[in-house]
Amino acid sequence: METTLRGVGVSHGVAIGEVRHMGTAVLEPPAKQIPAEEAEREQGRARQAVEAVAADLIARGNLAGGEAQHVLEAQAMIAQDPELIADVDRRIAVGSTAERGIYDAFSHYRELLAGAGEYMAGRVADLDDVRNRIVARLLGVPMPGVPDSDEPYVLIARDLAPADTALLDPALVLGFVTEEGGPTSHSAILARALGVPAVVALPGAGEIGEGTVIAVDGSTGELFVEPTEERKAALTAAAAERKAALAASSGPGATSDGHKVPLLANVGGPADVPAAVEAGAEGVGLFRTEFLFLDDSKKAPSEAKQVEAYRKVLEAFPEGRVVVRVLDAGADKPLDFLTPADEPNPALGVRGLRSLLDHPDVLRTQLTALAKAVEGLPVYLEVMAPMVADRTDAKAFADACREAGLQAKFGAMVEIPSAALRARSILQEVEFLSLGTNDLAQYTFAADRQVGAVSRLQDPWQPALLDLVALSAEAAKAEGKSCGVCGEAAADPLLACVLTGLGVTSLSMGAASIPYVRATLAKYTLAQCERAAAAARAADTAEEARVAAQAVLSGE
């Protein structure tokens, strides 16, 4: 008998197949004592396992490329953290085995993260995965991860670690479902990059039996257990209709009556550029530059290295627009040379622009590198600062850009509610706004983007979030300036229409989402988008907003 479950759809498409569950996590190793003379040998075993796991994560990242590479490199840094290794050594010195020392040291660090505020607690899943991989290696048991199968299947897991998601084979893994996670979790972002249908934050999914046939709709977030033949046919037909619409859609983004909405790509480095070009991106709306700084957490990359990486991306979009976000460090992206190590709540502390203003040499080098990278290129460069709180922040950033001799437009990201509320003031100092809806939702609702239990508050359809988007867009229009969206909200085709109706002037997203958004925008007029936006803002919940907008656009 068919039953329906609902989670959060995070990657478009339909998957129908048998369930396979993620392999079980490593068991806790026994707490046995070792003689003192064996301590040095055990410390060596622990270090070898750590280095092997870090090397494996980096290798997986190199194979996956793009966004996955950056995430996995960050995980490798966790494995090699000097404080963690020192703690492991201390535990082994007083009698722990290598595997028990690793387990206990990581568990202690886990508790610290879990108690350091919601934002840092979101890193716990990554930490657990690194611990499990090291312990598995020491115990000589199979690594936790994706099951072996010769036949295609739908994967179900409590959560998916980036190392697992990055190398999923779309030919075998038809789609995946997780009990935890949220729309902006690492797994969700990587699923969209892979083009694998995915649903997250679906409690109880783990209770579905191995081999059960399910159907997953990554657009609606619905999961059908033992779907009827009629259901399968309907889902397959809907998927085919979407595919046909994608094939028929090309060219610049626009509504059916010709209102232009440039569709841009979010990229993390040169490796992401080919997919963006293939998808028909009209430029880059968010160039995350953190990838350059993750290679060595002890020091910033040289100016020459930065120039080389930036130029590769800029060259790919002649006559296009490339919006570069300067280094966004802090919170879940700590860098030893830049961010404080002892902040009680890093998400609310010195991160983003605040870190850069505290280290003007790092900001100056990056801006100078950008100025050199764009020399002689026919590209429209725009540079923006993350975590801008007010006009003072915006002025400090614009002044730094001018002092570095940067010939570009300067902008501010709207990720803090104060920036949306005072957007017109901020626009006295900068030339454009870019809404980072992921962080804006997190700070608006005090809801960590990595915690599945509060995922409903991370839903970009929340009317309060739409109100803040509208405030920013209205301010930009009044000042004759632009206001784009570069958060994951732009990847939702229906929501893209609503954002357009709110007055947003460009949309930036993962490359895989661009065809879906282009095809959907082309079906509606600007007036229809405006009516859908008004209906969504008049609702009280995210679900009501989604339904109201859909009703307007479908003519109900």
Which residues participate in catalysis according to the annotation? Answer: 186, 486
Strands 482-485 and 8-11: unpaired
- CB within 8 A of 41, min separation 6: which ones? none
Enumerate long-range contacts of 375-378, CB under 8 Å, 24 or more apart: 377/311, 377/314, 377/315, 377/318, 378/318, 378/319
Q: Which two tokens stand for residue 155?
A: 């994967």
- CB within 8 A of 74, min separation 6: which ones? 126, 294, 333
Q: Which two tokens stand for residue 480?
A: 């004759």
d(CA 430, CA 391): 9
Question: Which amino acid, one-letter code, is at 482?
Answer: S
Q: Are 497 and 553 contacting, i.e. CB atoms less than 8 angstroms apart?
A: yes
Of residues 460, 404, 471, 462, the one with CA closest to residue 437: 460
Which strands make up the sheet holding 153-157, listed edge to edge? Answer: 3-6, 222-225, 213-217, 14-21, 153-157, 173-178, 198-200, 8-11
Q: Classify burial at 310, counting beta carbons within 10 Å of its beta carbon; exposed 0-12, middle 13-18, buried 19 or more.
A: buried
d(CA 120, CA 332): 6
**Region of residue 171 (phi > 0: left; psi between -120 and 50: alpha; otherwise: beta):** alpha
d(CA 5, CA 23): 23
Q: Are 93 and 75 contacting, i.e. CB atoms less than 8 angstroms apart?
A: no
* Residue 414: strand pairing partners: 435
d(CA 80, CA 289): 22
